[in-house]
Amino acid sequence: MFKALLLVCLMVLAGSVRADDRPNIVVIMTDDAGYSDLGSFGGEIDTPHLDRLAEQGIRLSNFYSNGRCSPTRATLLTGLDCARVGFGGGVVGDWGREMPYPAHRGRLPYNTPLLSELLKDAGYRTLMSGKWHLGGSTMKVDTKQQEVWKRYHPGWELTKEEIELDWLALPLQRGFDEYFGLYGAQDSLFFVPGQPHPMREGNKPAKLTYDRVYTMHCFSKWQQRYNVNHGKTGKAFYATDGVTDRAIEMIEDAAGDDAPPFFLYVAHRAPHKPLQAPEELVQKYLKKYADIRAVEATRHKGVQTQGLYAKHLDYKPAWINPGKEDEFRLQMALHAAMMEKVDEGVGRLMDTLEQTGELDNTLVLYFSDNGNASHLDNIFNTPYRGMKALLWEGGTKTHFIASWPNRIEPGSMSHEQVWVGDILPMCLELAGVEYPETFRGQPTETLPGRNMLSVLQGQPRPPAEAIFFNDKGQQSVIYQGRWKLLIEPGWYTQTLNRPGIAYELYDLDQDPAELNNLAEAKPKLVQKLAKMCEDWKQDMGIVEYGELLELRPGDNK
């Protein structure tokens, strides 16, 4: 009897072991979230699920994106500098932004391997729910789009090859087994039955589910089409919830002891403009933001209390347009409400991983594609200066959380420098995949990033020799993790008319808020770093922004 019982127990245990013990990998990215938005990063927004994720894993205080939407996404999926794959100089993945130069093409090249393709070839199930924004279109099958393409590309020739390459740039053709989401940069988050929408299921228009009742708050200053649902109450599709719903379905379908591991990329469009959120949450945060400057000061204290920022360091207050405080406050409240909905979705995803038995074998990464956008100045990036698309720390540095039960120490923190390009090498190692020397008949580039797994496991690591950033006339480099040079920082329309070339040099060890410009005090270091930047630009093929504006005069708007 005892032997029979033991045999049964052994069979049960054997059946509970996965056929493939490589981890699932879940990447969750928000769009324009602020560095200190999360409670676990010193913020006042209610983010209990993300805070719990931080308690279960590690927070990185010194994580860098590429400072803008598509460039960060391009590096995440290719592991290469964004200019290597067509997203240099602030170019994003929209027809109206594409340039006829390799570094600024605005579409991922088909001969560069993506993380999704490499993992799929290695036996992973590859899933994506959310915003793509890396170029491509369905004009191959929807020929009416070809006339639209011509309007956006005056002087270009629409060839069969161009049509095919646009088709091959979409998620389903780039290694994802399943895709639900938005191809482009932005659109409404709320849709009611009968309204046209941009959401796709694979290569086809998605059929949306309108199963929740919302009172909709929609705010857009410039495009009134985004405000059509403002003030309405009724059943609607809300993209933040919809992206989470579809991701949950993907997990449930992919889970199982006999199933291969999966890679899931969840790319929220929130809190990117247009700002749209449930009314009750907006009202909640309007009350919380009665005193705007108090919010900013509380965040500064919060990052210090959390151990993310030294207690003796100051910060640069956000600029708020005098007389526009109420509008600024409303945009803060909408941003916060959108972030709370993201947090709610993360909680539901984590519950699903646990309920399906996948949680213990899943690495979860959470971060933003850049800092908060310009309509909020740098208030939600406190204590850092700058915002999305500007190369000060507030534009490029974002919060980062990683969790992996029994592999990452709960409640830990690292101040080591990490860059978004470090994610792909780590994922390949976990999947047992070698980066190929050739892909689709072409030699591949050497990966500039470094496997970051050791950092997530609490080990020290020296900073990169250099990390470069370039965005619409601005250039910067972080040298050996300490010295940061910025050349012509700021909005191009403002810097263009200033005499000479502006240089700013900061010691990030002593002045991470970038308040004390050392350029005049250290001219030799400025000269050295400026030469490094110029060499890097030449290597990447980055074209001067003034030349790009001659082709696309409205690009700087």
Are the CB atoms for 81 and 540 separated by under 8 Å? yes
Are the CB atoms for 110 and 85 separated by under 8 Å? no
Q: Which domains does the chain have, with CATH numbers?
A: 30-133+173-183+238-459 (3.40.720.10), 463-556 (3.30.1120.10)
Distance CA 260, CA 329 (A): 47
Partners of 215 in the β-ladder: 233
Question: Amino acid identity of 55?
Answer: E
Are the CB atoms for 349 and 11 separated by under 8 Å? no
Pairing of strands 275-278, 58-64: unpaired
Which residues fall within 8 angstroms of residue 142, CB to CB, at 6 or more apart? none
CA distances from 127 to 89, 130, 171, 289, 299 (A): 29, 10, 9, 38, 35
Residue 493: per-residue pLDDT: 86
Question: Amino acid identity of 257?
Answer: D
Residue 18: per-residue pLDDT: 64
Which residues fall within 8 angstroms of residue 138, CB to CB, at 6 or more apart? 145, 167, 170, 203
pTM of the model: 0.96
Residue 555: per-residue pLDDT: 87
Distance CA 211, CA 209 (A): 6
Provide the strand spans (E) within 97-211: 125-131, 178-182, 190-191, 200-201, 204-205
| 43: helix, strand or coil | coil
| 136: helix, strand or coil | coil
pLDDT (tens, 9 = 90+) of the chain, 557 residues, equals 444 443 334 333 333 456 789 999 999 999 999 999 999 999 999 999 999 999 999 999 999 999 999 999 999 999 999 999 999 999 999 999 999 999 999 999 999 999 999 999 999 999 999 999 999 999 999 999 999 999 999 999 999 999 999 999 999 999 999 999 999 999 999 999 999 999 999 999 999 999 999 999 999 998 889 999 999 999 999 999 999 999 999 999 999 999 999 999 999 999 999 999 999 999 999 999 999 999 999 999 999 999 999 999 999 999 999 999 999 999 999 999 999 999 999 999 999 999 999 999 999 999 999 999 999 999 999 999 999 999 999 999 999 999 999 999 999 999 999 999 999 999 999 999 999 999 999 999 999 999 999 999 999 999 999 999 999 999 999 999 999 999 999 999 889 888 999 999 999 999 999 999 999 999 999 999 999 999 999 999 999 999 999 999 888 76
Residue 194: per-residue pLDDT: 97
Which residues fall within 8 angstroms of residue 253, CB to CB, at 6 or more apart? none
Structure-block tokens of residue 362: 């899943």
Residue 16: per-residue pLDDT: 43
In the 8-state DSSP scheme, what is residue 272? S
Are the CB atoms for 368 and 309 separated by under 8 Å? no
Residue 222: per-residue pLDDT: 83
Phi, psi of 405, rounded to the nearest 5 degrees: -50, 135
Which residue blocks in 142-236 are alpha helix, DSSP H? 145-152, 160-167
Which residues fall within 8 angstroms of residue 442, CB to CB, at 6 or more apart? 111
Rg over CA atoms, the chain: 23
Query: Residue 268 half-sphere exposure, CB side, CA atoms within 13 Å?
Result: 29
Residue 497: per-residue pLDDT: 86
Angle, CA 471 vertex, CA 468 and CA 475 arms, to 5°? 45
Distance CA 225, CA 247 (A): 28
Partners of 459 in the β-ladder: none
Quickly tell me which residue has 């020739």 as its tokens.
157
Give the tens place of pLDDT for each residue, 75-126: 999 999 999 999 999 999 999 999 999 999 999 999 999 999 999 999 999 9
Pairing of strands 483-487, 190-191: unpaired
Query: H or E stretch including 399?
Result: strand 397-403
Query: Residue 542 half-sphere exposure, CB side, CA atoms within 13 Å?
Result: 27
Give the tens place of pLDDT for each residue, 270-296: 999 999 999 999 999 999 999 999 999
